[in-house]
Chains A and B, each alone.
Chain A
Amino acid sequence: MKNLPAAVEMCCLRSATRAAVVPSAAWLVFGLLLVLFLATGSLLIGVRPVALPVALDALFSYDPGLPDHLVIRGYRLPRTLLAILCGAAFGVSGALIQAATRNPLADPGILGVNAGAAFFVTLAVGVLGWRSIEASLWSAFLGAIVVTLMVQALGMVGRIGATPLRLVLAGVALSAVLGGLGSAVTLLDPASFDALRQWSVGSVAGRDMQVVLAVAPFIGAGLVVALAAARPLNAVALGEELARSLGADVLKARILVVIAVTLLAGAATAAAGPIGFVGLMVPHAVRWFVGPDQRWIVVLTMIFSPVLLLAADIAGRIVVRPGEVEAGIVTAFLGAPVLILLARRRKAGGL
């Protein structure tokens, strides 16, 4: 479509979205039902299976004396909520970053989120000697935010401003520098190597309600900003100049994207570790189903990313009973074949 005149292109975009409205809405309902179904499953399934009525009792008339109630309230409820929150956060930040940079390889980590979080975790353990879960949560969050802002600042230096390409390259370069420094620390210090290899697998298990409550406000705010950014991103998809000539505020769209991605990916990475594949895969898959309208892509990604993460988390509990495989690993093993199948079946749509 690149060579068509702008007017024709806009027409195509509009008719494509109009034709797709009904199936998109159907996908939305289907996705919500799936989330509900999987969330219930996530409460019930595990080393200690719980019956549905007992689970409902635990939620609505909690009795701390019953072991089943303890398992649900103290362990599975935070885990399920975290999978939903972090899934949505990773997915939506991926969708935004792919749209804003118009790069199919871009994931939430491309602007330095993962590298920043990992580097600060390494420093917290290796240099400062902090070893608690809370310490790595907050250092990861701080690192994610600091480094994302640094990438933005580096990308914006000078008169050209932050073009998508410069942002991506600045993110890659800064991530590489931090990665190099980090691995210099970890290769010399076994304790921080150990901490980092645990952290870098990515999991939603073993976090309590405190963690959920700590990250929920950030993710909630990020999702709202993401919804506001979706509409201007449709114009950005046509290219910088064209978007500007159509009257779209490209700078505002970009700032919204940066705020949303920092909040979402930062908080989710802090809580669950780097499960970046959700953000890479789900937007691609969703785009093939609903077409190029960013509003639908963001909304459906928000629904289907938790589906992937919940399914991965549940599958991880079933596969190697009574042990568990972390959700970060299962996500890739569940998601990648789907992604490959879709890429082969559909006519691959560019960005």
Chain B
Amino acid sequence: MPIAFGRPVVTIRLWGGRVSCHLDLRATSVSAAVLTLCLLVVAVSLMSGAYPASMTEVATALLGRGEEMVMMIVREWRLPRVLLALLFGGALGMSGAIFQSLTRNPLGSPDVIGFAAGSHTGALVVILLLSGGYYETALGALVGGIVTALAVYLLAFRRGVDGFRLIVVGIGVAAMLGAFNAWMIRKADLQVAMSAAVWAAGSLDGLGFEQVMSTVVMLCLAVPPALRLSRPMRQLEMGDDVAMASGVAAGRVRLCLLILGVALTAIVTAAAGPIAFIALAAPQIARRLTRSAGLGLITSALTGALLLVVADWAAQHAFAVHLPVGVMTVSIGGLYFLWLIIREGCK
């Protein structure tokens, strides 16, 4: 047996050591591999559809040359959807990693503080009672989710927020809203209830470049601070006392991370509905791929992006019927996750 000297790490120094960083070799290679896979799936997605395009056709269309029709199909229809799948998947994966780290619980996700239940309630109220359209539903979901998350935080606040109390209060509020949602769906007209269920499954249908631009802007606001906080986040995992002893303002960091985590999910929910399971599965899958002890934000985000582009491709093309992408994310992500758990046991 060779002696293991910990994880292989390379130190990079730039400008005479003024900027330096450690690169975990395994995390880096996994990230590179996942990114390559992402790009492959993106290429396949751009090629496949009712009008199949070849690799060269796609490439020329992307460069702005080639036939008018191919350009329109590839650039106007398929590209924004694939980009959104990447961005949304990444945002969800990162948000999941933040929440699982904060709650120190592999079941942690923005749902823990009631975001999912609240946004579902908001959307249901808009769809069932106000019979609103796409934008009204998005707004309703956003308002519902944020108000619920805020309510949970405030209800759990008592001289600081203790992680366990936050979880319990979140369970309570989410259960109430969940019951209310089930009741509204039960009372509603069958057709309307089914259209609400399609929203609740999450879907990328009908999204265009407009949404890509706004998503990019919002992600630019949310992602850099999250990455900056990733180190104090790791220290918080060791407990508040240890973190504070090493100079982390535990309360403030936790609040910032909560806000960022909710924001990342909110961006997705507003545009595409609650795409389930990525926030839950991506960090855990990434952790198993990188064989690390903690949850990496970047690897989780990349894994989430890969999950969502694969799921979106499958939802559109794998079956005779066109399914909402949320249905596919749970199936594909769940199966892969199961396989990982089994393989982990066999080692």
Contact = CB atoms under 8 A, between A and B. Distances in A.
Contacts of A332: 175-176, 178-179
A188 B322 CA distance: 10
Interface stretch (B5-13, B87-95, B120-128, B332-340): B332-340
B172 A331 contact: no
A314 B344 CA distance: 48
Interface stretch (A8-16, A124-132, A166-174, A253-261): A166-174
Contacts of B342: 154, 157-158
Interface string B318-347: 000101101111110111011001101111
Nearest to A190: B190
A243 interface: no
Contacts of A201: 182-183, 186
Tell me whether chain B's interface is mostly helix, strand or loop, or mixed: helix
A277 B176 CA distance: 9
B266 interface: no
Nearest to B164: A348
Contacts of A158: 342, 344-347
B327 A187 contact: yes
Instruction: Indicate the member of A160, A184, A202, A328 with the most B CB atoms within 10 Å.
Output: A184
A293 B233 CA distance: 34
Nearest to A156: B345
A205 interface: no
A207 B160 CA distance: 47
A29 interface: no
Contacts of A193: 190, 193-194, 197
Given A187-B197, A284-B168, A105 B156 contact: no
A325 B173 CA distance: 19
Contacts of A160: 344-345, 347
A187 B194 contact: yes
B284 interface: yes
B105 A103 contact: yes
Given A154-B338, A173-B334, A105 B182 contact: no
Contacts of B327: 180, 183-184, 187
Interface in B19-35: none
A283 to B, nearest CB: 11
Interface in B127-182: 155-156, 158, 162, 164-165, 167-169, 171-173, 175-176, 178-180, 182
Interface string B232-257: 00000000000000000000000000
Contact of A180 (B106, B108, B194, B331): B331
B330 A179 contact: yes
B201 A183 contact: yes
B323 A343 contact: no
A335 interface: yes
Contacts of A155: 341, 345
Contacts of B171: 104-105, 280-281, 339
Contact of A350 (B112, B164, B345): B164
A165 B100 CA distance: 13
B223 interface: no
A165 B178 CA distance: 25
B222 interface: no
Given A158-B346, A179-B330, A343-B156, A104 B167 contact: yes
A230 to B, nearest CB: 22
Nearest to A351: B164
A339 B326 CA distance: 31
B186 A348 contact: no
Given A169-B284, A169-B337, A172-B280, A180 B330 contact: yes
A329 B180 contact: yes
B341 A169 contact: yes
A339 to B, nearest CB: 4
Contact of A333 (B168, B179, B186, B335): B179
A18 interface: no
Contacts of B277: 176
Given A183-B327, A190-B194, A173 B105 contact: no
A179 B106 CA distance: 19
B282 interface: no
A181 B178 CA distance: 21
Given A166-B341, A168-B106, A187-B201, A340 B173 contact: yes
Contacts of A186: 197
B281 interface: yes
B198 interface: yes
Contacts of A181: 331
A169 to B, nearest CB: 6
A187 B172 contact: no
B306 to A, nearest CB: 17
B330 A197 contact: no
Interface in A126-170: 154-161, 165-166, 168-170
A44 B223 CA distance: 59
A251 interface: no
Interface in A1-47: none
A172 B108 CA distance: 12
Contacts of B333: 176
B172 A340 contact: yes
A348 B201 contact: no
A177 B338 contact: yes
Pairs A-B, 5 closest by C-beta atoms: A158-B345, A180-B330, A177-B334, A180-B331, A332-B179
Interface of B: 105-108, 112, 155-156, 158, 162, 164-165, 167-169, 171-173, 175-176, 178-180, 182-183, 185-186, 190-191, 193-194, 197-198, 201, 276-277, 280-281, 284, 321, 323-324, 326-331, 333-335, 337-338, 341-342, 344-347
Interface of A: 103-106, 154-161, 165-166, 168-170, 172-177, 179-181, 183-184, 186-188, 190, 193-194, 197-198, 200-202, 277, 280-281, 284, 325-326, 328-333, 335-337, 339-340, 343-344, 348, 350
Given A173-B334, A183-B197, A187-B197, 9 more contacts: A158-B347, A166-B341, A169-B337, A169-B341, A176-B277, A176-B333, A181-B331, A201-B186, A340-B169
